[in-house]
Amino acid sequence: MSRTHLRIALGVVVAAAALYAPYYFQPTMNQELSRALYFAVAAMGLNLLTGFNGQVSIGHGAFFGVGAFTTAILMDSHGMTFELTIPLAALLAAAVGVLVGIPALRVRGLYLALVTLGLAVLFPRIGQKYVKGRGGVALVRPDRDGFDSLLDALANDQWQYLECLAIAAVLFLLAYNLTRSRIGRAMVAVRDQEVAASTVGVNLARVKVGAFALSAAYAGVAGSLSVMVDRAADATDPTVAFRNSIEFLVAVVIGGTATIAGPAIGALVVVLLRRETDGLIEGKEVLSPAIFGAALIAMIYVLPGGVVGGLRKLTDRILPARDGEPPGPVAAAALEPEAVATPGGAGAGPHTRAPTTKEKP
Amino acid sequence: MDLFIRYVLNGVGNGAVYASVALALVLIFRTTGLLNLAQGEMALFSTYFAWKLTSLGLSVFVAIPLTVVASMVGGAVIERVLIRPVHGPDKSPLNVLIVMLGMFLALNALAQLVFSDDAEPMPKPWASVSSPGDPTGADRIVELLGVRFSWSVIGLVVALLAECALLYVLFQRTKVGLKLRAVASNGASARLVGINSSAMLMLGWALAAGLGALAGSLVAADRGSVNPGLMAVVLVYSFAAAALGGFDSPVGAVVGGMIVAIAEALTTGYVKALSTIELVVPFALILLVLVVRPTGLFGKKVVERV
């Protein structure tokens, strides 16, 4: 069996399972899975920016929030249909993304992480100051009827799950095609070597700001979907945007950075992990973040390349050769940076690198 | 004018705290190139430890030094056990970021599980007057040249000056400091001349944890109590301070801390529209500086080779 066959088989099984799930599970579990789906959309957005374009953001909770509030306010105060608000939420989040992406051109790596962290910390405070929902707090709760199933055959929870699934599937397909296009290759080139990319004609500013806008739009759509699943857009808790931002990043890394399936797997892991650790011991709510944090560290140890990285390693062991590609050191090096790591780890890296940098003028 | 001086003095007190934590961030950044997101929560854990010691009857003057020493051991252990296996030039930088985020969540929760999930009174290591309703007493005020200083400002500034002096002597006047600087400036060459760089990395984390513990204990004493959310806000301002000064510059950390805190005190004092969103100030400052001078006020520019 070749890799392509394996992939197709796996894809069919996953798609069948995803379509059958809402009929199999109870409504609470369906809600949890819908949550995983919108989480996956936000994580995919972040993956486009961080995984493929190399711009680290700890602020996607803010774009997510922009999307959520756009939808909630448009439905609550302007009586719009839920589905109509989704593209508007995406557009508005993208606009905010451009606003953040332009100053982000000047800063990179850690500094960018910092600026975006500020975004996540600021967002709920701005929300609390300017958004006044019912009761005067920054919480907007549209009517339940706005999300009711349009088909008689489906219960509300099933309808919502399938709507999230359809939107997520479209956005994942879009991301898949994008990363294999000219734009996607430009994004990866900018990530790997900015200066070199610009010398071969990649417009750095356009690619980076574009990646920011697209990524923010994904997060905005996710926020929009979250209003349907969680029934409210909420900025009353000042830590919520920050926590979301962290969890999106966690989903990307746990699933597998710069892969297409990674964010979906990561989102499922994060949402289920949170569900399992919440209320593990009665009256000890604080135990949940302790276990969540410890689990994160443990997962990085066990799967440094994320779940997808781990699966690739496994298939490499079972099916040694790739399709039409002889097993060689070049392929191995491209696929698994860990495999060519020197045994000394952190200590040995610079030694092996030093001569190459000296050779160049 | 009186009001202006009062705002500035408030700012200086806070600035000393932000500067201490920013110094800890800079120490770790210089030796390992990492931005330690868990710095605040490490300090929070230490601060609860200090509170526990004082609640067991120890004097605050014994409790804080003991905490600093214990935190240094803890910091070294964290570097060795949690950070080193996932950090290196050939490993994904995102993995170490996730480990630090995990530490951030877990340490905050652990502090609440092990010690207390409530606000606990922290005794002040400087002069205070007992006041009803306040278990640790209010700060004593001294008047100097017509300006009223609170003892907490003096205590915080003295602690910051002591930290700076100690770090200066350690880095510039001792052999260990020379090794630390060597590892920071070029790890590979430092190893080639026989410096145990692993030990130096552990020492860097230990120093940072110790600084954080001291800053945490003092800010808790200044605010009167330690609570689980105490250091998260301080960390945000300290990030701002370190970014402003440049992540590789200790001088920048101190100057940045003061600028951020005084700017915060003045703007929230005079601009009423900024109440509750005072956090806008440090980020506006960061953004401004990074756009004009991406490496911070005192940072060195790194030349990139292709």
In angstroms, what CA-CA distances link B132 with A126, B137, B149, B219? Answer: 36, 8, 22, 21
* Contact indicator for A208, A115 with CB cutoff of 8 Å: no
* Contact indicator for A50, B93 with CB cutoff of 8 Å: no
**Residue A181 predicted with pLDDT over 70:** yes
Instruction: Summarize the confidence of residues A87-95 as an average pLDDT.
Output: 95
| Shortest Cα distance, chain A CAs vs residue B217, angstroms | 22
Report the alpha-carbon angle B298-B302-B306, nearest 5.
170
Instruction: Summarize the confidence of residues B261-272 as an average pLDDT.
Output: 84
Residue A106: band (very low, low, confident or very high) from pLDDT cuts 50, 70, 90: confident
For residues B79, B83, B88, B94, the Cα torsion angle rounded to the nearest 10 degrees is -150
Percent of chain A with pLDDT over 90: 30
Residue in chain B lying closest to A300 (CA): B95
Q: What is the pLDDT of residue A359?
A: 40
* Contact indicator for B11, B285 with CB cutoff of 8 Å: no
3-state secondary structure of A281: coil
Q: What is the pLDDT of residue A242?
A: 82
Q: Write out chain A residues lying below 8 Å of B106, CB-based.
A: 289-290, 292-294, 297
> What is A24-43 written as a DSSP string?
HS-HHHHHHHHHHHHHHHHH
Q: What is the pLDDT of residue A355?
A: 42
Helical H segments across A193-261, by residue range: 194-199, 204-230, 240-255
* Contact indicator for A238, A81 with CB cutoff of 8 Å: no
The pTM (predicted TM-score) of the whole model is 0.81
Task: State the DSSP code for A322.
Answer: B
Place of tokens 């309703």: B133
Instruction: Summarize the confidence of residues A139-143 as an average pLDDT.
Output: 80
Instruction: Summarize the confidence of residues A340-360 as an average pLDDT.
Output: 40
Instruction: Summarize the confidence of residues B66-87 as an average pLDDT.
Output: 92
Residue A61: band (very low, low, confident or very high) from pLDDT cuts 50, 70, 90: very high
Residue B47: band (very low, low, confident or very high) from pLDDT cuts 50, 70, 90: very high
Instruction: Summarize the confidence of residues B187-191 as an average pLDDT.
Output: 86
Distance CA B194, CA B175 (A): 13
Assembly ipTM:
0.77
Selected for mutation to probe chain B from A131, A296, A338, A359 (highest B CB count within 10 Å) is A296
B141-144 and B147-150 beta bridge pairing: antiparallel
First to last CA, chain A: 49
| Shortest Cα distance, chain A CAs vs residue B266, angstroms | 19
* Contact indicator for B286, B18 with CB cutoff of 8 Å: no
From the list B221, B245, B208, B247, the residue with the least C-alpha distance to B79 is B208
pLDDT in tens, B10-39: 888 889 999 999 999 998 888 887 888 889
**Chain centroid to CA B280: how far?**
20
pLDDT in tens, A301-331: 888 888 888 888 888 888 766 555 444 444 3
Least confident residue range of A185-189, A312-316, B74-78: A312-316
Q: What is the pLDDT of residue A354?
A: 40
How many other C-beta atoms can be found within 10 angstroms of the C-beta atom of residue A77? 11
Residue among B188, B197, B276 whose CB faces A354 most closely: B188
- Check the CA dihedral B290-A56-B206-B214 and report its sign: positive
Percent of chain B with pLDDT over 70: 89
In angstroms, what CA-CA distances link A297 with A291, A293, B105, B185? Answer: 10, 7, 11, 29
Least confident residue range of A87-96, B233-242, B295-304: B295-304
Question: Residue A101: CB partners within 8 Å, gap ≥ 6?
Answer: A208, A209, A211, A212, A213, A216
**Residue B239 predicted with pLDDT over 60:** yes
